[in-house]
Structure 1
Amino acid sequence: MAFTLDDKLVIAISSRALFDFEEENRAFDEANGDDRPYMKLQLDRLDVPAKPGVAYPLIRKLQQFNQGDVHRVEVVILSRNDPVSGLRVFKSAKRHDLHIQRGVFTRGSPPFGYLNAFNANLFLSANPDDVRAALNAGFPAARVFPESVKQAERRPNEIRIAFDGDAVLFSDEAERVYQREGLDAFQHHETRRVGKPLADGPFKPLLEALHRLQSAADSDAPMRIRTALVTARSAPAHERAIRTLMAWDIYVDEAMFLGGLEKGRFLREFEPDFFFDDQTLHCESALAVTPTGHVISGISNDES
């Protein structure tokens, strides 16, 4: 029977998100877009394993859901690298004991079109244009910050993922009210609509997929998932967020309603393996304490 990805959590990741290719990337930038120095550097280092990148710890943990003949998580490389540089990516994955067999290397062309063919549940990349295109195509995607702190293995048997609410798990409907009319109007808007679920945000499908993965795993599985909602909302606007999750029949393990407080201090306590937010201000606060992904969607990221 042919191999299928339909029943798996599929993470598509760029080579720079998985591995530390910052020195190689500087060679590309210094050549003003000429990829030949980058390709030569990668070829010269073909047998030198790349160091772990910002998303490496998350990928390693997710692969722990694959035990024996049970294959629940598939990680694929989706990269602007050339195919020769792709050899180093696969070699590095093997040396780090990451089980990655599939990838697409496009030598500079936008790779996001292959997300549909892979049936991807998440795309992580350091390229903001690729992330924006993936989000516009309907895929959960985030720009990773290679300079983010890489979490140590304090919880080797638990994956912790934290999500912002508006424009990430939920639509940016309420955020637009806040930015146009201010806090009082936002609170009034949310209180009047407390019983009406918010529309889906770009990362709702990922939260659903994580719950399916957790539900499918055996009770004695070596890895568990713990999720958190970390939002600038506060009472009374908190209620609509919780009621929306209830209407979706999705739960989170923790919810933080911070009312505009800096998120980094709270993320330091939760210690997520990854945090997703749509606002650069919150991402900058978070990346000093946790791997961080910028969800380039919603009114805070309008290009106009």
Structure 2
Amino acid sequence: MALQRERLEIPARPGVAFALARKLLDVRLGTQATDPSLVEVVILSRNDPVSGMRVFRSVRHYGLRIDRGVFTRGEAPWRYLRPLHAHLFLSAHSSDVRAALSAGVPAALVYPRSAHASDAHPNEIRIAFDGDAVLFSDEAERVFQSLGLEAFHRHEVDHADQPLPDGPFKPLLTALQRLRAAPTMRLRTALVTARSAPAHERAINTLMNWGVEVDEALFLGGLPKAEFLREFEPDFFFDDHTGHLASAAAVVPCGHVASGVHNEGNPGGLL
């Protein structure tokens, strides 16, 4: 608190999620800068209200249209996500992320030291998602973990026409669909998954059943994801597997989705 008071007039440096927040705030109903935004960004923080003064001064310094904030002085802020009708919660505090996921809010543990987003696409929001345990449930992943790759492929082929159950980030993907018609900022999404043919069909059929779109689908068959993500240049990438994120964080902003079979018995996530 004392440090924040000393630095009230010194803007905080942009963090890993800065580019994503800035672009989302630029999604407007019309083409004019004065048009209302389709997206709201709210700051939820365990910092105290005095520290919140520095946060909002930093927000003004960077020209971000953020008007709402919750500062709890050490208490968990995730409980305010429901009255805010939040579609995404990003935090560097693992227990808050897990609590938000348990409450049904898409949430990810930010890798604070991951690479910042590229500035190559200033008019395009780019978000990449893993499939199983992120967009979809971990049903198929559990088959793979317990019975192996051959049984996984057989299971997915047998159930190709049966949509996968919802994963924790389906609500975010669905909400993003509403931004596709916005004239001020394009949306580009990618499914980046270790699945390969023939297991790809169930994933695509599930998205079609949901009535949502992704612009790119990368079925990598177990290849490392980092180099593909480097080429896609997302503003954020979400995955449930810390092994994938460890390498991806060197090239793109990342968030760990602490759900599914990979994260059972690992209550602290990446921390």
TM-score tier (shorter): over 0.9
1:64 maps onto 2:29 in alignment: no
Letter in 1 for 2:142: R
| Separation of aligned partners in 1, 2:247 and 2:158 | 32
| Separation of aligned partners in 1, 2:71 and 2:64 | 18
Q: Deviations over 1:231-289 (max 9, x none)?
A: 00001101100000011111100000001110001001111111000000111121111
1:48 maps onto 2:14 in alignment: no
Partner of 2:220: 258
1:294 maps onto 2:260 in alignment: no
Cα deviation for residue 50 of structure 1 reads 0.3
SS of corresponding position for 1:78: strand
1:110 maps onto 2:76 in alignment: yes
Cα deviation for residue 214 of structure 1 reads 1.7
Alignment counterpart, residue 235 of structure 1, candidates 197, 208, 229: 197
Partner of 2:174: 208
Q: TM-score, normalised by structure 2?
A: 0.95
Q: Does structure 1 retain, via aligned residues, the 8 Å contact 2:7–2:54?
A: yes
Cα deviation for residue 106 of structure 1 reads 0.7
1:88 maps onto 2:54 in alignment: yes
- Count of matched residue pairs: 262
1:282 maps onto 2:244 in alignment: yes
- Structure 1 runs of 4+ aligned residues shifted over 4 Å read none
Cα deviation for residue 227 of structure 1 reads 0.3
SS of corresponding position for 1:73: coil
Cα deviation for residue 152 of structure 1 reads 2.8
Q: Does structure 1 retain, via aligned residues, the 8 Å contact 2:118–2:233?
A: no
1:196 maps onto 2:196 in alignment: no
Letter in 2 for 1:184: E
Gaps of at least 5 residues in structure 2 are 267-271
| Separation of aligned partners in 2, 1:297 and 1:178 | 16
Stretch of structure 1 that moved more, 156-165 or 65-74:
65-74
Q: Higher helix proportion, which one?
A: 1
Partner of 2:235: 273
Q: How does 1:134-145 map to 2 (within 5 A)?
A: 134-145=100-111
Cα deviation for residue 58 of structure 1 reads 0.7
Cα deviation for residue 65 of structure 1 reads 1.0
Partner of 1:16: none
Cα deviation for residue 84 of structure 1 reads 0.7
SS of corresponding position for 1:134: helix
Cα deviation for residue 181 of structure 1 reads 1.2
Cα deviation for residue 71 of structure 1 reads 2.4
Letter in 1 for 2:16: V
Partner of 1:175: 141
Alignment counterpart, residue 245 of structure 1, candidates 187, 207, 224: 207
Cα deviation for residue 222 of structure 1 reads 2.3
% identity of equivalent residues: 65
Q: Does structure 1 retain, via aligned residues, the 8 Å contact 2:125–2:235?
A: yes
SS of corresponding position for 2:10: coil
SS of corresponding position for 2:125: strand
SS of corresponding position for 1:116: coil
| Separation of aligned partners in 2, 1:69 and 1:255 | 33
Cα deviation for residue 189 of structure 1 reads 0.8
1:158 maps onto 2:124 in alignment: yes
| Separation of aligned partners in 2, 1:117 and 1:169 | 23
SS of corresponding position for 2:265: coil
Cα deviation for residue 70 of structure 1 reads 2.1
